[in-house]
Amino acid sequence: MASARYPLFKQSLLSQSPSVDLDTDTIKVALVNTSTDYTYSASHQYKSSVTSYAGTTDQTLTSPTVALGVFDAADSTFTSVAISGTKTVQALVGTAPGSDEGPKGGTGHSRRQRSESILRYYSAASII
């Protein structure tokens, strides 16, 4: 599988539902094992569809920028990645957690929590 943007993420950028702001939201990357734990699907929209590589912590991207239609961030490092048996790291999945805003104005306005959106699938060939 080649690298790809999740189509429902592209749709959310255009419709702002759910709203994702690449340079102010907390953007993370997760290691995934595509041979046993995850298969890319264009219909996936939320992190709950993705199983992160066991024993790793999703990494928060630092120094995010958006310029001339390009998103960039500082390089991330995954430490202590345990390889067991035939498991190999084969892809990264970018995610954006946060919340959709509830009603504005007045007192006691609320914020609705939203699920963590998945942004992009990076195959191992494009990240090594």
pLDDT of residue 97: 65
| 14, HSE (Cβ side, Cα atoms, 13 Å) | 5
pTM of the model: 0.71
The β-bridge partners of 123 are: 91
pLDDT category at 111 given cuts 50, 70, 90 is very low
pLDDT digits (tens, 9 = 90+) for 14-63: 887 777 888 888 888 888 877 777 888 899 888 888 877 777 788 888 99
Q: Token pair for residue 9? A: 């993420």
The β-bridge partners of 59 are: 29
Residues in contact with 107: Cβ distance below 8 Å, sequence separation at least 6, in sequence order: none
